[in-house]
């Protein structure tokens, strides 16, 4: 069982939703650290339901972590891959990834890399049944996680600590030290309950069930297994459900309800097969063989032991093979079905002693005692029977069972005391909440009163501000009109006055006609400027459609008499577009200046005018096929400065592109949002 990294409590629906959310992020295809972490989290979730899918996402995570050169995410992916490969029976692949993880450890590297290696190595050796080798790695991993959490406390760090307590407890349980096992299991359970981590709680309940199962306390074992199974079903943890279901079968075997035991074991076997968990399939076959031995059904017992043997050969698991052979010999002893193998029993005993597997050691002594009793070598049978009692007493003795019972009761008492403290806190909180509610009610009344007052003042202030803004706007408009009248019309009237005086003093008809013509032209200019000002301040011309109409009208009036072909193109929705007076006047006069220049100076035959409304911007382009000009030469002429100044007043950008012989293109971009 690889450590679970989620610290939240989730339901089956929520877990599915989390997986869907993670898959959605993965589809984005980003190559960053967040994607790397997401792949690891997704793989962890899938280890409970889809081990092949977990492998695929771990491979992606490893590749991305190598690209990002991130040792922490890479080490976590390697650690998960070791566990997944072992669970699917790929021992050689697991060794390969464990070796890669070991090579990542550096003196000045992240502590998490070392912790992940210790965790993976501990679970690897535990899965092999070598508990003596596994235990130091697990304890080192626990210490690494505790040190890391002290430096940077987090829910994830505490989840890692609780998971390691659980793993160490399971290892002590396999070694037959049930008192120490239960201590670690209860430590893990306390943390998972504080974190409200349902998955961790279910794992701890199953391990506590195993403690009682190995002590022969089957009723207690049944209670905790049922708790674990219920939570795993709620979480839709397919692998966890299969493991708890198999344990239910083992519990019912201890209760001597063999048919019910076989029913649970067969159901678990089907799940392990669907999930492709070959090692768990093999162990379940052995367990079913044991049940059939107890039912005195040699044929079925042999069938399931042979199935387990075939899978052990496929897994290349020599320890499991010896264990199966020992079970078959024990069956033959029980049923007196043939010649026995003393050597196989001795090898199985030696393996269990070396790996400190007390459960197998007890079974081996029992097998050897029966073996020598059947051979009528009663002195050896008595010797192994005495050894059996000594080990059994150390593991299942009354004193130990009392200590374990005390541990469980102490845990329950502490739990009840916490519940009582919580009830007291709830009462105090209720009183505080009642006082708070009253304060909130009074505060709400005061707040509403203040809100009404503030609202009234705000509305009144808004009216004053609006009135002031209107006055300011009107004053600004008056100033603009005065400036325009002074600049445009005033200067023109002055020139007319001077020309009139000159005309009165002149007797030459030719000079007189020229001055009178100038007076006529400038009078027309005054009328035109006055018309533009009046048009700009008229509220009826606020819509942009009116601006377009006036632009077309001016273009036709100016270019038609000159026989210049023109085209006016519009793109976009102008019906709801409005401009303020100042911007509307500047925009129109800029356009007017551009058309004037094309008509007077370009000697063009065609003019293309394009007006586009798009993405919060108004684009105007005036393009002619005239003679063009060199802007450096005529920099201060043809109203170019005026156009740029009007563009700046609108916060617009303007581009004037022209070359001699290649025409002129004026582009203006006006923001309208």
Q: What is the pLDDT of residues 612-627, one digit of tens each?
A: 998 778 999 999 999 9
Distance of CA 225 to the CA centre of its chain: 33
- Contact predicate 556/595, CB 8 Å: no
Topology of domain 539-671, per CATH? Answer: Heat Shock Protein 90 (3.30.565)
- The whole-angstrom separation of Cα 244 and Cα 481 is 89
Mean pLDDT lowest for which of 2-11, 195-204, 445-454, 598-607? 2-11
Task: Say whether pLDDT at 33 is over 60.
Answer: yes
Predicted confidence at residue 51, as pLDDT, reads 83
- The whole-angstrom separation of Cα 131 and Cα 123 is 9
Q: Can you list the pairs that 76-82 forms with residues at least 24 positions away whose Cβ atoms lie under 8 Å?
A: 76/40, 76/112, 76/116, 77/39, 77/40, 77/43, 78/104, 78/116, 78/120, 79/2, 79/116, 79/117, 79/119, 79/120, 80/2, 80/40, 80/43, 80/44, 80/47, 80/54, 81/55, 82/120, 82/123, 82/124
Top-ranked range on mean pLDDT: pick from 108-122, 364-378, 402-416: 108-122
- Model confidence at 640, pLDDT cuts 50, 70, 90, reads confident
- Model confidence at 10, pLDDT cuts 50, 70, 90, reads very low
Predicted confidence at residue 248, as pLDDT, reads 94
Mean pLDDT of the chain: 80
**Partners of residue 567 on adjacent β-strands:** 608
Portion of the chain with pLDDT greater than 90, in percent: 25
Q: What is the pLDDT of residues 323-370, one digit of tens each?
A: 787 777 777 666 543 444 567 767 767 777 776 666 667 767 766 766
Q: Where are the domains of the chain?
A: 12-124, 154-235, 237-316, 539-671
How many helical (H) and strand (E) elements, i.e. helices and strands, does the chain have?
25, 5
- The whole-angstrom separation of Cα 423 and Cα 544 is 71
Predicted confidence at residue 433, as pLDDT, reads 76
In 397-508, alpha helices (H) = 398-484, 491-505
- Contact predicate 191/153, CB 8 Å: no
Task: Say whether pLDDT at 317 is over 90.
Answer: no
Q: What is the pLDDT of residues 547-564, one digit of tens each?
A: 898 899 889 988 998 999
Predicted confidence at residue 8, as pLDDT, reads 33
- Contact predicate 326/345, CB 8 Å: yes
CATH superfamily of 154-235: Tetratricopeptide repeat domain (1.25.40.10)
Q: What is the CA radius of gyration of the chain?
A: 46
How many residues comprise the chain? 673
- Model confidence at 79, pLDDT cuts 50, 70, 90, reads very high
Predicted confidence at residue 225, as pLDDT, reads 92
Q: What is the pLDDT of residues 125-155, one digit of tens each?
A: 988 888 888 999 989 888 888 888 888 888 8
The CATH class, in words, for 237-316 is mainly alpha
Mean pLDDT lowest for which of 136-145, 214-223, 330-339, 375-384? 330-339
Could you say which of 3.30.565.10, 3.40.190.10, 1.25.40.10, 3.40.50.740 is the CATH number of the domain covering 12-124? 1.25.40.10
Q: State mean pLDDT over 218-234.
A: 91
Task: Say whether pLDDT at 279 is over 50.
Answer: yes
Say if 12-124 and 237-316 have the same CATH topology.
yes
Better pLDDT: 280 or 417: 280
Q: State mean pLDDT over 155-178.
A: 88
Predicted confidence at residue 58, as pLDDT, reads 93
Predicted confidence at residue 374, as pLDDT, reads 65
Predicted confidence at residue 495, as pLDDT, reads 63
């Amino acid at each position: 069982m690889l450590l679970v990294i989620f610290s939240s409590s989730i339901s089956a629906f929520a877990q599915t939703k989390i997986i869907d959310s993670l898959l959605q992020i993965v589809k984005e295809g980003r190559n960053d650290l967040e994607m790397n972490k997401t792949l690891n989290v997704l793989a962890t979730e899938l280890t409970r339901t889809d081990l092949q899918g977990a492998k695929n996402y771990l491979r992606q995570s490893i590749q991305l972590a190598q690209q990002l050169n991130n040792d922490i995410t890479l080490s976590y992916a390697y650690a998960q891959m070791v566990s997944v490969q072992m669970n699917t029976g790929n021992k050689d692949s697991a060794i390969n990834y464990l070796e890669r993880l070991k090579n990542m450890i550096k003196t000045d590297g992240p502590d998490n890399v070392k912790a992940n290696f210790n965790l993976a190595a501990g679970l690897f050796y535990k899965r092999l049944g070598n508990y003596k080798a596994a235990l130091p790695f697990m304890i080192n991993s626990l210490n690494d996680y505790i040190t890391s959490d002290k430096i940077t406390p987090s829910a994830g760090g505490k989840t890692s600590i609780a998971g390691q307590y659980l793993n160490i407890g399971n290892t002590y349980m396999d070694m037959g030290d049930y008192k120490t096992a239960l201590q670690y299991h209860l430590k893990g359970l306390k943390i998972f309950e504080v974190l409200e981590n349902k998955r961790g709680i279910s794992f701890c309940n199953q391990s506590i069930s195993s403690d009682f199962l190995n002590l022969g306390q089957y009723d207690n074992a049944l209670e905790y297994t049922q708790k674990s199974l219920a939570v795993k079903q709620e979480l839709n943890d397919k692998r966890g459900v299969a493991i708890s279901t198999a344990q239910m079968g083992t519990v019912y075997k201890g209760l001597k309800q063999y048919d019910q035991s076989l029913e649970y074991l067969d159901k678990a076997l089907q799940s392990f097969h669907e999930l492709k968990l070959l090692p768990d399939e093999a162990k379940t076959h052995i367990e079913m063989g044991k049940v059939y031995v107890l039912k005195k059904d040699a044929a079925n017992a042999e069938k399931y032991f042979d199935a387990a043997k075939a899978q052990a050969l496929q897994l290349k698991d020599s320890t499991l093979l010896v264990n199966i052979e020992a079970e078959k010999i024990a069956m033959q002893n029980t049923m007196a079905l043939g010649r026995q193998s003393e050597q196989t029993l001795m090898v199985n005993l030696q393996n269990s002693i070396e790996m400190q597997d007390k459960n197998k050691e007890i079974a081996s002594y029992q097998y050897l005692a029966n073996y020598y009793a059947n051979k009528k070598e009663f002195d050896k049978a008595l010797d192994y029977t005495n050894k059996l009692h000594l080990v059994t007493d150390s593991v299942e003795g009354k004193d130990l069972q009392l200590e374990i019972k005390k541990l469980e009761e102490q845990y329950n008492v502490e739990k009840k005391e916490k519940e009582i403290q919580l009830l007291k806190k709830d009462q105090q909180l209720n009183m505080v909440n009642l006082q708070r509610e009253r304060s909130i009610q009074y505060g709400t009344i005061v707040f509403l009163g203040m809100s009404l007052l503030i609202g009234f003042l705000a509305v009144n202030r808004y009216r004053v501000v609006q009135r002031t803004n209107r006055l300011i706007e009107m004053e600004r408009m008056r100033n603009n009109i005065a400036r325009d009248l002074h600049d445009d019309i005033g200067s023109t009237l002055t020139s007319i006055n001077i020309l009139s005086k000159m005309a009165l003093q002149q007797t030459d008809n030719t000079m007189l006609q020229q001055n009178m013509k100038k007076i006529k032209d400038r009078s027309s200019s005054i009328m035109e400027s006055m018309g533009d000002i009046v048009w700009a301040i008229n509220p009826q011309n606020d819509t942009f459609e009116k601006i377009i109409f006036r632009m077309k009208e001016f273009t036709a009036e100016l270019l038609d008499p000159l026989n210049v072909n023109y085209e006016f193109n519009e793109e976009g929705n102008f019906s709801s577009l409005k401009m303020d007076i100042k911007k509307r006047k500047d925009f129109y006069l800029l356009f007017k200046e551009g058309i004037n220049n094309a008509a007077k100076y370009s000697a063009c035959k065609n003019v293309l005018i394009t007006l586009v409304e798009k993405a919060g911007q108004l684009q105007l382009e005036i393009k002619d096929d005239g003679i063009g000009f060199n802007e450096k030469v005529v920099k201060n002429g043809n109203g170019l400065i005026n156009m740029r100044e009007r563009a700046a007043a609108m916060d617009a950008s303007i581009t004037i592109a022209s070359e001699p012989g290649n025409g002129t293109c004026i582009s203006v971009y006006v923001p309208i949002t």
